[in-house]
Chains A and B, each alone.
Chain A
Amino acid sequence: MLTEIQEGKALNPVVRHITQEKINLYAEASGDFNPIHVDESFAANTPLGGTIAHGMLNLAYVSEMMTSAFGRSWLSGGKLRAKFKEPARPGDTLTINGKIDCVEQKDDVPYANCSFECRNQRGEIIVTGEAIIKLSSDKR
């Protein structure tokens, strides 16, 4: 976890490689077998031109970065807003970066406001968004 919470502080990035096997595993775990994720011949005949990772799989990597930085403060007091800009595809390597934009007090409770983005190996933005974490006293 982060040892100090301060504005401008970068969060430790998370890097993950997407494979069809991982997408299939995610489909099995979540029960989301939408053919756009798991049926390569179906997906090839859609405007997307091939299978794509579940948006929630990409978001799981964002959550992993937030958990690594804020621990339980994130897991039981986190809030996020994410936009899926481009699909992640098998073969992509995703890098998730984030930083603390500001720390503010609301009703004497400190909150960290963060921004994050997930890019593929070509630098294209896959997911972008913001997160707010209610900080417990041990994280101040």
Chain B
Amino acid sequence: MPDKTITYEGLTPGYKFPPAVYELGASFVSKYLKAVDSVDDGFVPPLAITACAVAAMTKSVPLPPGTIAIHASQELEFFKLVPIGDTIECHIGVAQKIARGKMSMLILEIEVFDKSREKVQSGRATIALPT
């Protein structure tokens, strides 16, 4: 869930957003597969899990008024498959915040765990914010 009390200016390296929980049911997987033109392999596609994490990130980051966020780069590592119907928890934190001229860059760390608290995937996203 987004933290409504934090502002973009208040984001500093080390800040952790409140975790976001997603239930990866058959309906979600079916919608995702339709969106990406793919087929059901009997488990949740890892990029569907990342999609949840990135959506959580998008909802969590409080953008300065009038700015748009552009996904500039993404690193990912997959550790285990997640069965359909499982629940995941996405943890997102601020790794770096960089200001370069008219461009701000926010580097976020993502970790996703399954219901047994095992790490499913981790990654790092760079978000560019032209001002």
Q: Which residues of A contact B (CB under 8 A)?
A: 16, 22, 25-26, 28-32, 34, 36, 46-48, 54-57, 59-61, 63-64, 67, 72, 74-84, 87
Size of the chain B interface, CB-CB below 8 angstroms: 36
Q: Of B32, B41, B70, B71, which is in contact with the most chain A CB atoms at under 10 Å from its CB?
A: B71
What are 7 residue pairs bridging A and B, where the CB atoms are less than 8 Å apart in the complex? Answer: A28-B31, A29-B51, A34-B68, A57-B36, A60-B38, A78-B46, A79-B76
Q: Does B9 contact A (CB under 8 A)?
A: no
* Among candidates A28, A29, A47, A76, residue contacting B80 with C-beta atoms closer than 8 Å: A76
Q: Mostly helix, strand, loop or mixed at chain B's interface?
A: mixed
Task: Judge whether B36 and A64 touch: CB under 8 Å.
Answer: yes
Q: Does B58 contact A (CB under 8 A)?
A: yes
Q: Give the 10 A-B residue pairs with the shortest CB-CB distance, closest first.
A: A55-B71, A30-B51, A25-B35, A29-B31, A26-B35, A32-B55, A31-B55, A60-B36, A29-B32, A79-B77
Q: Which residues of B contact A (CB under 8 A)?
A: 28, 31-32, 34-38, 41, 43, 45-48, 50-52, 54-55, 58-59, 68-81, 130
Task: State A55–B58 Cα separation when bound (angstroms).
Answer: 12
Q: B81 → chain A, closest Cβ, in Å?
A: 5
Task: Judge whether B47 and A29 touch: CB under 8 Å.
Answer: no
Residues of B within 8 A of A16 (CB): 37
Q: Can you name the residue of chain A whose Cβ is closest to the Cβ of B127?
A: A55
Residues of A within 8 A of B35 (CB): 22, 25-26, 28-30, 57
Task: Judge whether B34 and A29 touch: CB under 8 Å.
Answer: yes
Residues of A within 8 A of B72 (CB): 83-84
Task: Judge whether B71 and A30 touch: CB under 8 Å.
Answer: no
Task: Judge whether A60 and B45 touch: CB under 8 Å.
Answer: yes
Q: B45 → chain A, closest Cβ, in Å?
A: 7
Residues of A within 8 A of B75 (CB): 79-82
Q: Can you name the residue of chain A whose Cβ is closest to the Cβ of B30?
A: A29
Q: A59-B50, A59-B74, A75-B43 are in contact. List 10 more A-B contacts (CB 8 A).
A: A25-B34, A25-B35, A30-B54, A32-B51, A36-B69, A76-B79, A78-B46, A79-B75, A79-B76, A79-B77
